Chains A and B, each alone.
Chain A
């Protein structure tokens, strides 16, 4: 009976039991990881634990900071904000600032060095210059010495 079934298998291209047996034995001989035969050492476990904890720590979005560092960061940002508010307020009111280098009467507007000056608009320059003593008029029409520098002379056509 079994011989008949074996013959039928061979005719239909089916492998015999022995063939399947050796096939599966060979297959699992290569399939089983060789690491399973090695002992599990404590240092491997410790290393694995360390790796896992690193991975878990890496999943955190942000590492917790110490309280001191956070306090300093908050204080610095508050101080910067306060300074910025002070500069804006003093600029709007035209108040002189001691030691700031801004003369009284100036708006305190500053331009960043990278921006190009607007040529079409007249520059607000005091005819007195940096000196606080006003110059006297040199002509009957009241033109001062500083103002004569801006007069352009053209030939009459």
Chain B
């Protein structure tokens, strides 16, 4: 709620860039999680975050009252446009750069990459609300109460949904022959 008042004054502040940067620091991860829950693609979700902030930076229209909602809407629309275009660009194995230095051999890196892809695929099968709860819980380490404010329901309902989503994900992984370490 405190954000709302600061957001209202955001457009009238002289140093807009600094304010956007500050907002990015505090909200980019949450936006990424929500976008990721929509598309199950980490890079695309990150692009959606960048795109939404970039468009706000160029935005010259009426003052934005709720910046978070504005950014979410812009990112969602961008994701929809991208999904409609069905861009199938050729990409390298995801995340291999981040694995370098953590694992010893290329085989380990590939195995880890495959595991990531398997879990990502299983997450994609879940419905969006279940996926959203899992993403907020594990990517942002949010409590049930924090997630409840975003999902507009009670913390108990979030706990229940979390438990159900985990179980459903485990079933999907077992069906797909996923091997646990």
A residues engaging B (CB < 8 A)? Answer: 12-15, 17, 19-21, 23-25, 27-28, 30-36, 39-42, 45, 48-49, 52
Within the assembled complex, what's the spacing in Å between the Cα atoms of A25 and B119? 12
Question: Which B residues touch A45, using CB under 8 A?
Answer: 17, 20, 53-54, 57
- Write the chain A residue with the least CB distance to B139: A28
Within the assembled complex, what's the spacing in Å between the Cα atoms of A15 and B180? 8
Question: Which A residues touch B58, using CB under 8 A?
Answer: 49, 52
Contact with A along B32-51 (1 / 0, CB 8 A): 10001000001100100110
- Write the chain A residue with the least CB distance to B23: A40
Question: Which B residues touch A30, using CB under 8 A?
Answer: 95, 98-99, 112, 116
Question: Which B residues touch A42, using CB under 8 A?
Answer: 17-18, 21
- Write the chain B residue with the least CB distance to A25: B138
Within the assembled complex, what's the spacing in Å between the Cα atoms of A71 and B28? 52
Within the assembled complex, what's the spacing in Å between the Cα atoms of A48 and B51? 9
Kindly provide the distance from the CB of A143 to the nearest chain B CB, expressed in whole angstroms: 84
A31 engages B139 (CB within 8 Å): yes
Q: What DSSP secondary structure best describes chain B's contact surface?
A: helix
A-B contact pairs, 20 of them (CB 8 A): A12-B174, A13-B174, A14-B170, A15-B170, A15-B180, A17-B166, A23-B180, A24-B166, A27-B138, A30-B98, A31-B36, A31-B116, A31-B139, A32-B32, A33-B32, A40-B24, A42-B18, A45-B53, A45-B54, A49-B54
Q: What DSSP secondary structure best describes chain A's contact surface?
A: helix
Kindly provide the distance from the CB of B11 to the nearest chain A CB, expressed in whole angstroms: 16
> Does residue B25 face the partner (Cβ distance < 8 Å to A)?
yes
- Give how many A-B residue pairs fall within 8 Å (CB-CB): 84
Besides the known contacts A17-B163, A24-B138, A24-B166, 20 further A-B residue pairs in the complex with CB atoms under 8 A apart? A12-B174, A15-B180, A21-B166, A23-B119, A25-B138, A30-B95, A30-B98, A30-B112, A31-B36, A31-B42, A31-B95, A33-B43, A33-B46, A36-B46, A39-B21, A40-B21, A40-B25, A42-B18, A48-B50, A52-B54
Indicate whether A31 sits within 8 Å of B29 (C-beta atoms), given known contacts A41-B21, A48-B54.
Answer: no
Indicate whether A24 sits within 8 Å of B134 (C-beta atoms), given known contacts A30-B95, A52-B54.
Answer: yes
Indicate whether A14 sits within 8 Å of B57 (C-beta atoms), given known contacts A40-B20, A41-B21, A45-B17.
Answer: no
In chain B, residues 129-158, which have Cβ atoms closer than 8 Å to a Cβ of chain A?
134-135, 137-139
> Does residue B120 face the partner (Cβ distance < 8 Å to A)?
yes
Kindly provide the distance from the CB of B109 to the nearest chain A CB, expressed in whole angstroms: 11
Within the assembled complex, what's the spacing in Å between the Cα atoms of A20 and B138? 11
> Does residue B79 face the partner (Cβ distance < 8 Å to A)?
no
